[in-house]
Amino acid sequence: MRKHLIPLAALLAAAPAYPQASANVAAGRAQPSPLAPSEIISAAPGGDWTAIAPSDLLVMDLAPDAKGKPRRVVIQLMPAPFSQGWVGNIRKLAAAKFWDGTSINRVQDNYVVQWGDANAEDKTKARKLPGDLAMVPESEYSIDHDILLDRVLPKDSYGVQAGIFAGWPLAFDDKIWPVHCYGMVGVGRDMPPNTGTGAELYTVIGHAPRHLDRNIALVGRVIEGIEHLSSLPRGTGALGFYETPEERTGIVSIRIGNEVSGLPGRANRRDAFFIRPAGGADVCNVPVPVRRVK
Amino acid sequence: MRKHLIPLAALLAAAPAYPQASANVAAGRAQPSPLAPSEIISAAPGGDWTAIAPSDLLVMDLAPDAKGKPRRVVIQLMPAPFSQGWVGNIRKLAAAKFWDGTSINRVQDNYVVQWGDANAEDKTKARKLPGDLAMVPESEYSIDHDILLDRVLPKDSYGVQAGIFAGWPLAFDDKIWPVHCYGMVGVGRDMPPNTGTGAELYTVIGHAPRHLDRNIALVGRVIEGIEHLSSLPRGTGALGFYETPEERTGIVSIRIGNEVSGLPGRANRRDAFFIRPAGGADVCNVPVPVRRVK
């Protein structure tokens, strides 16, 4: 393996990994060489992983790339108690095949990739939305709830505590809410804060835009295939929208995972590890391992 | 303009912009509608901008894209007192035309794009480095220095203070050092910390990998054309290295700006503004405006 730039794993390993280190300190033994995160993941027993049900996945198949290779993006939907009104809408939209034949319409560097009906604002051309979508109030962006977090991180630059719950990055004060890390998926909306149905979605492809937290609903995260979105050509129009229809990437279909064939199972590592190589860790830099299940 | 996702500008504008608000509060007048950052930048007088000398730019011309369009990436080199040993090497490498005919060799999603001599580790094929490159000690990653920062931000998730100096993101405790934000350019190296000459460079294309701070030298930042790097296909080898030479993107040339024709001047906005829409701001989310000069 080439070592021209310190790999992430080597640097994270500069501090001892959580479970091993504490056990050895307690026993008064010399500490072994710390394991790299990839080694910790490889060594993790099966019980450390939680299966992700196919019914909690949203599978987006893009048009094949220039070489004819398929492009599949797998999104894990946000679990209860967060954003369930929008997640419910997304299930209905997928069931109605609303997105089949729509497109990726916006790619803004260091910000977001956005997809949906490119004609949504043209009443003569807009696709018909399913009739039973909920109008979810903005109060659902952050909620009152008692949640046992897997990890709590120090107060961050945004003046709030952050933590990890079932692999999801959250922040809290008297409320609790999911945060905009790389790969998180949110609901595009117009200016009134409750106008987002879920028909227009985006994912973060840059530094965490945490100023969007509690301003927009987060409904999932990309767990496989984000490179098919993050490497798309950037749009040259305002906000990174493509200026011509030809620049858009077509969406063949978006389905809930149990409607898709050939989809391997997925598993989340239950206890998201993290370490503090630099005196702390940004919630958006906490690795949350996900693996395919045979 | 479409408004399907709250634009960054509108959200930042939710808090009043720095100079306008304080002036009006002092005068006891009603506050006007806050300006969006783009409006503040447009309205900024010429004296708010500092010219960037062409001799402080590194200009990388990639092979044209599939449609024959040129791809130019403009990097501002780090000013004194930071990383000057490596910056000096980079000036020598550019003068020696070391990078002409090299390539982009690594694209790792949410991490880095890396370029240089793909054969650097094969002694029979490696390009000859200029003979007078400095071996810069790792102690230069962070330095003792009195610097008047333009802005100081609260302590961040990494337990250090962050600030902005002449448009550059820094952090400090008893030392001061540049930090790994999106678009920052650093020096690839092997395991011994002083092995990086500057011949192998990378730029950040994801969430700020702050754990690299003080582990790797930062020597500049991309101020134009980062989309030509961030949208490249991701490498499928270990660490995102391309597995075949055909996947690499060729580098036609890398030159210091005053050696390049047709390069418009650049200017940094002197006083980097920031506001706190979410109770704080991450140093890597502080916008540092840069504009072309006619």
Structure tokens given for A261: 């064939």
The pTM score is 0.84
Structure tokens given for B88: 């000096």
Contact residues on chain B for A249, CB-CB shorter than 8 A: none
Residue ranges in chain A assigned as alpha helix (H): 8-12, 18-26, 37-43, 84-95, 227-230
Using 50, 70 and 90 to split pLDDT, how confident is the model at A288? low
C-beta pairs of B240-248 under 8 Å, 24+ apart in sequence: B240/B106, B240/B107, B240/B108, B240/B109, B240/B111, B240/B112, B241/A2, B241/B105, B241/B106, B242/B105, B242/B106, B242/B107, B245/B103, B245/B118, B248/B103, B248/B104, B248/B105, B248/B118
| Residue B236 · residue B213 · CB < 8 Å | no
Q: Residue B158: what pLDDT? A: 76
| Residue A223 · residue A266 · CB < 8 Å | yes
Q: Residue A67: what pLDDT? A: 92
B169 touches chain A (CB under 8 A): no
CB pair distance less than 8 Å for B209 and A285? yes
- For B171, nearest residue in chain A (alpha carbons): A278
Contact residues on chain A for B217, CB-CB shorter than 8 A: none
Q: Residue B8: what pLDDT? A: 31
Across the A/B interface, how many CB contacts are shorter than 8 Å? Answer: 200
Using 50, 70 and 90 to split pLDDT, how confident is the model at A47? confident
Sheet with B290-293, strands from edge to edge, namely B49-52, B265-269, B290-293
How many CB atoms are located within 10 Å of the residue A225 CB?
18
Substitution target in A142, A151, A157 with the highest count of B β-carbons within 10 Å is A157
Contact residues on chain A for B112, CB-CB shorter than 8 A: 5
CB pair distance less than 8 Å for B282 and A282? yes
User: E strands, chain B, where?
Assistant: 49-52, 57-62, 71-77, 103-107, 112-116, 151-153, 161-165, 168-172, 176-178, 184-187, 201-204, 218-224, 249-256, 265-269, 290-293
pLDDT in tens, B31-62: 455 666 667 777 777 777 888 899 999 999 99
Q: Calculate the alpha carbon distances from B290 to A153, A208, B117, B274 in Å.
A: 34, 21, 30, 15
pLDDT in tens, B102-141: 999 999 999 999 999 999 989 999 999 999 999 999 889 9
CA A228/CA B233 separation, integer angstroms: 8
Backbone angles phi, psi at A223, to 5 degrees: -110, -10
Q: What is the dihedral of CA B176, B177, B180, B181, to 10 degrees?
A: 60
Using 50, 70 and 90 to split pLDDT, how confident is the model at B240? very high
**Which of A5, A206, A281 lies nearest to residue B202, judging by beta carbons?**
A5
CB pair distance less than 8 Å for B285 and A209? yes
Sequence letter at residue A191: M
Substitution target in B6, B195, B214 with the highest count of A β-carbons within 10 Å is B6
H/E stretch holding B20 reads helix B18-26
CA A90/CA B171 separation, integer angstroms: 42
**Which of A4, A114, A283 lies nearest to residue B188, judging by beta carbons?**
A4
Using 50, 70 and 90 to split pLDDT, how confident is the model at A32? low
pLDDT in tens, A129-171: 999 999 999 889 999 888 878 777 777 777 788 888 888 899 8
- For A173, nearest residue in chain B (alpha carbons): B279
Q: What is the dihedral of CA A10, A16, A18, A21, to 10 degrees?
A: 150
CA B284/CA A163 separation, integer angstroms: 20
| Residue A71 · residue A61 · CB < 8 Å | yes
CA B9/CA A202 separation, integer angstroms: 17
A63 touches chain B (CB under 8 A): no
| Residue B99 · residue B129 · CB < 8 Å | no
ipTM: 0.81
Contact residues on chain A for B226, CB-CB shorter than 8 A: 109-110
**Which of B7, B158, B280 lies nearest to residue A279, judging by beta carbons?**
B158
Using 50, 70 and 90 to split pLDDT, how confident is the model at A30? very low
B206 touches chain A (CB under 8 A): yes
Please give the mean pLDDT across all residues of chain B.
81
Q: Residue A287: what pLDDT? A: 60
Give how far B270 is from chain A: nearest CA, Å: 23
- For B278, nearest residue in chain A (alpha carbons): A211
| Residue A216 · residue A196 · CB < 8 Å | yes
Please give the mean pLDDT across all residues of chain A.
81
CB pair distance less than 8 Å for B233 and A230? no
pLDDT in tens, A254-284: 999 999 987 877 777 654 333 223 445 566 7
- For B238, nearest residue in chain A (alpha carbons): A1
CB pair distance less than 8 Å for A189 and B4? yes
Sheet with B168-172, strands from edge to edge, namely B151-153, B161-165, B168-172, B176-178
A216 touches chain B (CB under 8 A): yes
**Which of A121, A186, A226 lies nearest to residue B2, judging by beta carbons?**
A121
Q: Calculate the alpha carbon distances from A237 to A106, A161, A240, A245, B13 in Å.
A: 9, 37, 5, 12, 21
**Which of B5, B159, B189 lies nearest to residue A280, judging by beta carbons?**
B159
A138 touches chain B (CB under 8 A): no
